[in-house]
Structure 1
Amino acid sequence: MRLRTMIGLVLAALLIPLTAPASQAETRAAAFDPNPTISGPGVPAPHYAQGARGVYAPNYLPGCPYQRVCVAVLDYQDDRINTWKIWDLYQCGKYSLNDWRSRGWIRNNQSGSAVAVRMNSASTPLTPSHPVANQWRDVDWEPAWYFKPC
């Protein structure tokens, strides 16, 4: 009987450290971390903007260079921060969007009547389109598979 009790205590002691890291892993798993990417003609390296959770993103998103369309997608989010991955697109063409989830932003700083368009998996344009307006506009990236800046 005494041996069984000791074995039970040893097993219990071994299980306690195993459950503590699991609860920490569950906390980390609650973070939103999709790692979005884009591919297409002349894709520049992304840059990032970070702000406190609950702060309206355009308050900390950067400007968009002239003659470019800037797109921002949520790259990481936890209970404290939002991190946006941003691309400044300057070449016309069709871009593929991978792991672009949730809502995001488009800033069309081209000239003239250039319109940026999101497209679904069948390459059908999604509404609304995004005419030239040098300000960040809220967009739903969830149905978009492709993007044409002009």
Structure 2
Amino acid sequence: MRTKRSFLGTVGTVTLVLASALTSGTAQAASSATSAASPTTSPAVHSELLPAGSGIVCSSGNFCASVWDPNAGRFRVFYFYNCARYSLSNWNEWGEAKNSQTGGAVARIYGSSGNELASYPADGGVYAVNWGPVYSIRNC
């Protein structure tokens, strides 16, 4: 025996299937558009998330830099100890820098063409930094 389907029932089923496909596609696009990569360095250095509402803490011998981590929803602080030049990835927001190195080491940040953007003396001061134009750090 053959089942008869109504025209309106078929149209309703097709409409629901299409609406479901469009909704899931839109949700996937929205979630991928809002996910951003966490900030990193190369070579890698020790980093940790700052507790909500706290400022940068930097132990002796380090140049420390904090930047917003969109995946964690908090600031992440990076501890640069070994003397080197470090490339930055996904450092897109404002943050802080503090130079607690010893021996008068001066930390410098550089732009895309290798031009020096700023320098930070080992004075223990906390400096506001726009990390957006910064491509690398040399901590000594």
- Scaled by the length of structure 1, the TM-score of the pair is 0.73
What value does the CA root-mean-square deviation take over the aligned residues? 2.6
* Runs of 5+ unmatched residues, structure 2: none
Aligned residues: 136
1:69 aligns with 63
Structure 1 pair 27/37, CA: closer, same or farther in 2 (3 Å)? Answer: same
In the alignment, the residues of structure 2 paired with residue 26 and residue 82 of structure 1 have an alpha-carbon distance, to the nearest angstrom, of 21
1:93 aligns with 84
* Shift, 1:27, TM fit: 5.8
* Shift, 1:34, TM fit: 2.4
- Who wins on radius of gyration, i.e. which is larger? 2
CA contact (8 A) 1:34 1:101 kept: no
Question: Of 127, 130, 140, which aligns to 1:137?
Answer: 127
What's the % identity of the aligned pairs?
23
2:38 aligns with 35
Structure 1 pair 62/102, CA: closer, same or farther in 2 (3 Å)? Answer: closer
- Scaled by the length of structure 2, the TM-score of the pair is 0.78
Q: Which moved more, 1:108-117 or 1:26-35?
A: 26-35
* Runs of 5+ unmatched residues, structure 1: 52-58
1:10 aligns with 13
